[in-house]
Amino acid sequence: MPRPLKFKDHHQENRIFSARLTATLVAVLVLSLVLAGRMVWLQAMEHERYTTLSDRNRVQTQTLSPPRGLIRDRQGRILADNRPNFSVTLIPEQVRDLEETLSEVNRLVTLEEEDVQRFLGRLRGPRRPWEPIPLRARVTEEELARLVVNQHRLPGVRIDATPIRHYPHGEMLSHVLGYVNRISRQDLDRMSREQRANYAGTHFHGRSGLERQYESLLHGTAGHRKVETNARGRVLRVLEEDPPQPGEDLQLHLDLEVQRAAWEALEGHRGAIVAMDPRDGGVLAFVSRPGIDPNLFVTGISRDDYDAYRDDLDRPLFNRALQGQYPPGSTIKMMHGLAGLEHGTVTWEDSIWDPGYFRLPNQNRVFRDWKREGHGWVDMHRAVAESCDTYFYKMAYDLGIDRMQAFNSGFGLGRPTGVDLPNERAGIQPSREWKRRARGESWFHGDTINASIGQGYTLATPMQLTYATTVLARQGQPVTPRIAELPLAGDTLVQEPVTLSEPEHWDRMQAAMEDVLHGERGTARMTGRNAAYRIAGKTGTSQVFSLEQEEEYDEDEIEERLRDHALFIAFAPADDPAIAVAVLVENGGSGGGVAAPKARQIMDTWLLDENGELDPPPAMQDLDNPTAAGVPKES
């Protein structure tokens, strides 16, 4: 032990100091063990957890969105494609003064209040640091140039080029193609987990029309890329990549020229035209006018534009061809005639005297023919060609609504045709049961009389009328209407064929329909004139509102919107139909005068070559060949 140096109790001092030093040594060792234990805990026990955390820091999985499939018409002409869209995004972490930057950007590209609000919403919401936030979509070329020049002064402001949907034909195809628009939060909430993963890098999806119908096909499958990033989100290298599977291109039966003819035929009207190839069920034209500019909807339609569409009296947002339900008028007389013939309540030889009206036995109510003075003696052929109402009143009275309804169903009335578009309406094929359910009333004879000429409760969409015409053209053989040229799925709606005990009725009814256009007194004889082929058709004029029994009807005095709807259905060439068409002109007036000529234009476009010779293009699918794609499977 050290020698005493001072005058104090060294033994005592040494003892105390030794004890204290030992205590601190123990403390040092214990605390070192605590540290060592902590390190063992972090690095050995919790190692895996922290490895995951560390990888999650450094490795980011980016979703690679697949390019959306293009839509082409039957000849490969582009109907919907993808074009680069320049948008302004902002990385808040790189911005020095947000307010100043926003006002500076605003000086260069004019930001709407909506844009700024949406941006601020995203900024305050949950987000990953260093992730760019969209500020303004669809920058014009001019704005783009101004931005690029000034970009060096605006750190954090980026210009992104992303492909967005573009519809080169605008309104013309708007009701068949539909449009894509931004996926909303609600849309995401509706998706399944797998779907959400597939849409992680996608900003748009099909909202309506074919874009929606074939969304899964057009969208494709998202790819993934694992990248190593630093804390500021800069990608340092790509670790692995699984490329996206591009969406498939969609080839349509639709023919752009026929579509254009139909669109132009309705110029200045509200209405719809649907044309089909009866040989394969392919839809050649599908027009509802007025249309909308689908390009406005892609990046988000402005409130003003949307309000203008919504408040337009002509209702451009309304898809008349698919959802417009109109009284079919006389266009369904053939079905009733065939029903009468099949059930034996009438023959081709039977004639009736038409005084211009029909009165139910023991009732005072009078049902008038469109021709006040009456048609005189009329048989079935004349009744179709000249569209005699009285003949069908009488026949329907004998036939009864039950048999009419059952027979009409075979032509697709009262149910969706199954065309490949979302939200198709079914129309109404009235029956006793329907009236009891819908109106809570029982069926009266008068209802049958009204139904016989496609009035009263009967409603059909233009799509349904085209389908019914196709079944007529195919002499009762059903077909599935298709806009896109794709193999049919097994569950596609297939109807029972309409069979007649006397197949010759088909030919005789067709002959009567040909006389509508080619007969001396046919209701559309002006349209049938100079045709290079025979057309079988039927005019229809359906009342928008009913006149009092003895009230006079003066077309000029009735307000335009209360005028009759003009309808016309036809197929041609009559001996080997290659097109079936239904034309509806809202408040057009006369079916023969207004609707029929439009159908003629469309049929000419499809059937004639450039020299005006009959040369119908071949069907796309061979329905008679059972191995060919497109044949519905039997269940």
Partner 1 sequence: MSREFVREMPGEQTGGSGGTGLAWRLHLDSPLLAALTMLCLGGMFVLYSAGGESTQMLIRQAMRLGGGLMALMILAQIPPRTYRFWTPMIYAGGIVLLLLVMLVGLEAKGAQRWLRVPGFGAFQPGEIMKLAVPAMVAWYFSEKSPPPRLHHVAMALVIILIPVALIARQPDLGTALLVAAAGLLVLFLAGLSWRLIAGTLAVISIAAPLMYFFVLHDYQRTRVDTFLNPGADPLGAGWNIIQSKTAIGSGGLTGKGWLHGTQSRLDFLPESSTDFILAVLGEELGLVGVLGLLALYLFIVVRGLAISWKAQDTYSRLLAASISLTFFIYVFVNMGMVSGLLPVVGVPLPLVSYGGTSIITLLAGFGILMSIQTHRRLMTR
The site for partner 1 (CB under 8 A) is made up of: 2-3, 5-6, 8-9, 12-13, 16-18, 20-21, 24-25, 28-29, 31-32, 34-36, 38-40, 42-44, 46-47, 49-51, 53-55, 57-58, 129, 228-232, 236
Q: Of 54 and 625, which CB lies nearer to partner 1 in the complex structure?
A: 54
Tokens 């390190």 — which residue?
39
Nearest to 514, CA basis, from 505, 523, 504, 503:
523
User: CA dihedral defined by 553, 378, 365, 414, rounded to 10 degrees?
Assistant: -80
- Name the strand (E) or helix (H) holding 463: helix 462-473
What's the closest the beta carbon of residue 263 comes to partner 1, in angstroms?
55
Q: Of 26 and 547, which CB lies nearer to partner 1 in the complex structure?
A: 26
For residue 18, the SS3 value is helix
What's the closest the beta carbon of residue 27 comes to partner 1, in angstroms?
9
**Neighbouring residues of 528: CB distance < 8 A, sequence distance ≥ 6:** 516, 517, 518, 522, 535, 537, 600
What's the closest the beta carbon of residue 95 comes to partner 1, in angstroms?
17
What's the closest the beta carbon of residue 232 comes to partner 1, in angstroms?
7
Cis status, amide bond into 168, omega within 30 of 0? no
Q: Of 44 and 313, which CB lies nearer to partner 1 in the complex structure?
A: 44
Angle at 585 between CA 275 and CA 552, to 5 degrees: 145
DSSP 315-357: -TTS-HHHH--B--GGGGHHHHHHHHHHHTS--TT-EEEE-SE
Q: Which of 208, 330, 387, 431 is catalytic?
A: 330
294, 270 contact by CB (below 8 A): no
What are the phi and psi torsion angles at 405 (to 5°)? -65, -45
Tokens 């649907």 — which residue?
274
Angle at 107 between CA 106 and CA 110, to 5 degrees: 50
Q: Of 9 and 307, which CB lies nearer to partner 1 in the complex structure?
A: 9
What's the closest the beta carbon of residue 135 comes to partner 1, in angstroms?
23
Q: Of 236 and 547, which CB lies nearer to partner 1 in the complex structure?
A: 236
Cα 566 from Cα 593, distance rounded (Å): 8
What's the closest the beta carbon of residue 229 comes to partner 1, in angstroms?
7
Residue 231 burial class via C-beta count within 10 angstroms: exposed 0-12, middle 13-18, buried 19 and up: exposed
Q: Of 31 and 366, which CB lies nearer to partner 1 in the complex structure?
A: 31
What's the closest the beta carbon of residue 286 comes to partner 1, in angstroms?
53
Residue 291 burial class via C-beta count within 10 angstroms: exposed 0-12, middle 13-18, buried 19 and up: buried
> Does residue 330 have an active-site annotation?
yes
Q: How does strand 366-368 pair with strand 357-359?
A: antiparallel
What's the closest the beta carbon of residue 187 comes to partner 1, in angstroms?
29
Q: Of 10 and 118, which CB lies nearer to partner 1 in the complex structure?
A: 10
Q: What is the DSSP letter of 252?
A: B
Q: Of 227 and 607, which CB lies nearer to partner 1 in the complex structure?
A: 227
583, 565 contact by CB (below 8 A): no
- List, by residue number, the catalytic residues: 330
